[in-house]
A and B are shown apart, each in its own frame.
Chain A
């Protein structure tokens, strides 16, 4: 079987042009931008989360030892400790709720791209079961990854502690962390590829066949075992695309007194501005998957999931 990489990307590009420019309609952009916002930004997806402050710089130099001491002094106060725990719990709850919204949003955005139409409420109601299943799977996945990183970090805790307790920075201390890095990289790589496969291939399989996340993974893993190199190469191509997009955003941002950065970093507005890119990337995974047979062609047989009943109808 000959697997193409550029042809699916070209088809995704052509699909995006039909959706967004033939004809151009502001309401399509507004609605699909919101679907993209629900899908990618809230989960901190690769093309979504530009909101983090990368321009932060410490106002004055503070050595780790001093910083750790200040943190320790701060949380020794029971009131402050309670406040920190409270803020942490609220932040965690908000993150979980946003993840739930994002999991449902992924089906909304995918439905928009597959059907070449802008809609929120109908796909939101229709893919409730799949969205909830994806949410539970994603939570468990990140929990497992967090535990794996923790287990790897345990033997290096002493080195980390000495690194922070030293009053001066030593390169030797940092080198002692190389072992941790060496062991963590495969885990991070595996996590990144799992997240990539989940969003690009497992979600379309769930969407097409109305499956849960676990059942869809079962179907995808059969395919992955048969064509591992093709899917790994897809991941590499995707990284290259992200780099190219990042470079383009940098060029536009620096050429416009950072106005471009502000627009892209603004929630929802950024998704509307980057909608051609996001719609192309959203369509690329399913277009690539469609080469492996009609049972993986989401465009030929869009979805078996029945439409949700309209409000007021039995």
Chain B
């Protein structure tokens, strides 16, 4: 099916070869980030501007450390540092896997209405986790 025909039917229009290149590049970038996080050790002052100015942690404080713990296979530490790290990693892995499967089947992403809802749901979840962590004082320093 041509890109124009797909566009007319409301599908995601990316020719097959560039789409595979993008898919592989995303996978390689994620693998590189995973390896870098495994080897990473936090050092120095936190970079959070809100913490420096207002002395409170922000909604994403601890996320990098949580992903690093996840990369090392320490699920407990990852959850304690930031519960959304697990959710985020699972979502990204699922999205990457699903898009690869769709590409292999030459299928198109016809219904994209869920994307803004998914982004909004993630935003709301981050906000909720932030409020809970602020109230319980569990934002990592």
Interface residues, chain A, with chain B CB atoms under 8 Å away: 21, 23-27, 253-259
Contacts and interface: CB of A to CB of B under 8 A. Distances in A.
A25 B58 contact: no
Interface string B91-123: 000000000000000000100110110000000
A257 B49 CA distance: 6
Interface in B1-54: 7, 10, 12-13, 47-50, 53
A253 B58 CA distance: 10
A119 B59 CA distance: 37
Interface string B63-106: 10000000000000000000000000000000000000000000
B21 to A, nearest CB: 16
Contacts of B10: 23, 25
B66 to A, nearest CB: 12
24 contacts: A21-B116, A23-B10, A24-B115, A24-B116, A25-B10, A25-B112, A26-B112, A27-B7, A27-B12, A254-B49, A254-B53, A255-B50, A255-B58, A255-B130, A256-B58, A256-B60, A257-B47, A257-B48, A257-B50, A257-B58, A257-B61, A257-B63, A258-B49, A259-B60
A133 B135 CA distance: 58
Contacts of B109: 26
A25 B11 CA distance: 8
Nearest to B62: A257
B92 to A, nearest CB: 15
B112 A254 contact: no
Contacts, number: 43
B60 A257 contact: yes
Interface residues of B, number: 20
A26 B7 CA distance: 11
A254 B12 CA distance: 34
B58 A27 contact: no
Query: 8 closest Cβ contacts across the A-B interface?
Result: A257-B60, A254-B50, A256-B60, A257-B48, A255-B59, A255-B58, A24-B116, A24-B112
A273 to B, nearest CB: 10
A259 B63 CA distance: 11
Nearest to B109: A26
B12 A26 contact: yes
A24 B10 CA distance: 10
Contacts of A23: 10, 112-113
Contacts of B63: 257
B13 A256 contact: no
A112 B52 CA distance: 42
Nearest to A22: B113
Contacts of B7: 27
Contacts of B116: 21, 24
A25 B6 CA distance: 12
Nearest to B127: A255
Contacts of A253: 49
B115 A254 contact: no
Nearest to A253: B49
B113 A24 contact: yes
Contacts of B112: 23-26
A258 B61 CA distance: 10
Nearest to A261: B49
A245 to B, nearest CB: 17
A26 B13 CA distance: 9
Given A27-B7, A27-B12, A255-B60, 14 more contacts: A23-B113, A24-B115, A24-B116, A25-B10, A25-B112, A27-B13, A254-B49, A254-B50, A254-B53, A257-B47, A257-B49, A257-B60, A258-B48, A258-B49
